[in-house]
Amino acid sequence: MAVYASANTPVGIAAIRDLGSEDLDAILDFWYTSGDDFLDFLGIDRSRLGTAEDTRQRFSRAIWKGDPNQQNIAFAITLDDDFAGYTLLNRYTPETNYSHWHITNPLVRAAGLSTALYPHRMKTYFDLVPIERLIHQTRTRNVAVNRMLDKYVPIAETRYVEDPDGVALPGEFHLRYVRRKDIPRFFR
């Protein structure tokens, strides 16, 4: 199982590695035991989320198979080798690609993992597959994710999105764009 990157954080060593089938239960716990208030805050469309079995199938399909044409690719986020969350890259065209990022273990949120891994996260996506642009589509009310992104990529647009990527309901989103040439800057 490939480890793509690691970074020091105040609470340990965070890393990005391939997702494995042994990680799927933690992802299902996140989606099906976090509670309605949490899913409402994220703005999740329950019909798009589907059943736990639907989600298991979606993430099984997203385990990296080494095919450069694979459309959905999931990676595990770890802290000192323990599963802490996941990220999912959804590819459509070279210019239209979205990623999702969740620290699924609430005990290690706001500890600096996402900030420390952000440059590595971008490098991992762009190194692995031939994408040219990544779009960050984040709900405006989610202060934490927006503060994390503000450190690296400015908001390009804020607008109502009727059909957001993934399992989200329509709503007000910030949009930010990352291109391949931006990546070296994130490491400086």
Ligand X SMILES: CC(C)(COP(=O)(O)OP(=O)(O)OC[C@H]1O[C@@H](n2cnc3c(N)ncnc32)[C@H](O)[C@@H]1OP(=O)(O)O)[C@@H](O)C(=O)NCCC(=O)NCCS
Which of 70, 75, 71 lies closest to 86 in space, CA to CA?
75
- Considering only residues 119 to 148 of the shown chain, the ones binding ligand X according to CB under 6 A are 138, 142-145, 147-148
Q: How many residues bind ligand X (CB under 6 A)?
A: 18
Among 27, 74, 111, 167, binds ligand X (CB under 6 A): 111
Does residue number 115 form part of the binding site for ligand X (CB under 6 A)? yes
Does residue number 58 form part of the binding site for ligand X (CB under 6 A)? no
Does residue number 169 form part of the binding site for ligand X (CB under 6 A)? no
Cβ 116 to ligand X, closest distance in Å?
7
- Over the window 16 to 55, marking each residue x when it contacts ligand X by CB under 6 A and - when it does not, the resulting string is --------------------------x-------------
Among 101, 125, 126, 173, binds ligand X (CB under 6 A): 101
Q: Rounded to 5, what percent of the chain is helix, strand, coil?
A: 35, 35, 30
Q: Which of these ranges, 55-63, 86-94, 103-111, 180-188, lies near ligand X under the rule CB under 6 A?
A: 103-111
Nearer to ligand X by C-beta: 143 or 187?
143
Measured between alpha carbons, how far is 178 from 122 in angstroms, rounded to an integer? 8
User: Could you tell me if 150 and 74 are in contact, meaning their C-beta atoms sit under 8 angstroms apart?
Assistant: no
Cβ 143 to ligand X, closest distance in Å?
4
Measured between alpha carbons, how far is 101 from 82 in angstroms, rounded to an integer? 17
Long-range contacts at 147-155 (CB < 8 A, ≥ 24 apart): 148/114, 148/115, 148/118, 149/118, 149/174, 149/176, 151/115, 151/118, 152/118, 152/119, 152/186, 153/177, 153/178, 153/182
Nearer to ligand X by C-beta: 66 or 143?
143
Among 102, 123, 174, 176, binds ligand X (CB under 6 A): 102
Cβ 93 to ligand X, closest distance in Å?
22
Measured between alpha carbons, how far is 37 from 152 in angstroms, rounded to an integer? 29
Contact residues for ligand X, defined by CB under 6 A:
42, 101-103, 109-115, 138, 142-145, 147-148
